Amino acid sequence: METEIAVRKLSALAHEGRLAVFRALVKAGPGGVAAGDIARKLKTAANTMSAQLLMLSNAGLIRARREGRSIIYAVDFEQMSSLLLFLTQDCCGGRAEICAPLAAVATSCCPPKRKQRA
């Protein structure tokens, strides 16, 4: 991951409301949640929620799909994992074996395309 992209992801998360949205989506898992449902759950105005979802989406942290009149948002777990990897990369002066496993575990979380574990 490039630094600029990581900064965009971190900026998207560096906001009380958006962080709450992201965490709610992390909890929800790959199935995702409709924009309106998140807005109601977090007691946020629809337009505000839309802006927050847009920013998370532009950062690549979440993805949107239409389903009827609703738009369902779900975390892009691969992107999330690569961000965590980026933050922990080369941890402790090259002794990657100490910290790198973090990345592997992250990657194994809710894989969107490859084989599931449980």
Partner DNA sequence: ATGATATTTCCATATTACATGAAATATGGA
Partner DNA sequence: TCCATATTTCATGTAATATGGAAATATCAT
Chain positions contacting DNA, by CB under 7 A: 11, 15-17, 34-37, 39, 45-51, 53-55, 64, 66, 68-71
Burial 55-91 (b: 16+ CB within 10 A, else e): bbeebbbbbeeeeeeeebbbbbbbbbbbbebbebeee
Q: Is the CB of residue 6 less than 8 Å from the CB of residue 52?
A: no
Distance spanning both ends of the chain, measured CA to CA: 28
80 binding partner (options DNA, its own copies, none; Cβ < 5 to 8 Å by kind): its own copies
Q: How far is the CB of 81 from its own copies (least distance, A)?
A: 9
Q: Is the CB of residue 77 less than 8 Å from the CB of residue 111?
A: yes
71 binding partner (options DNA, its own copies, none; Cβ < 5 to 8 Å by kind): DNA
Q: How far is the CB of 46 from its own copies (least distance, A)?
A: 22
Chain positions contacting its own copies, by CB under 8 A: 3-4, 6-7, 10-11, 13-16, 19-20, 22-23, 26-31, 80, 84, 86-95, 97-99, 101-102, 105-106, 108-110, 117-118
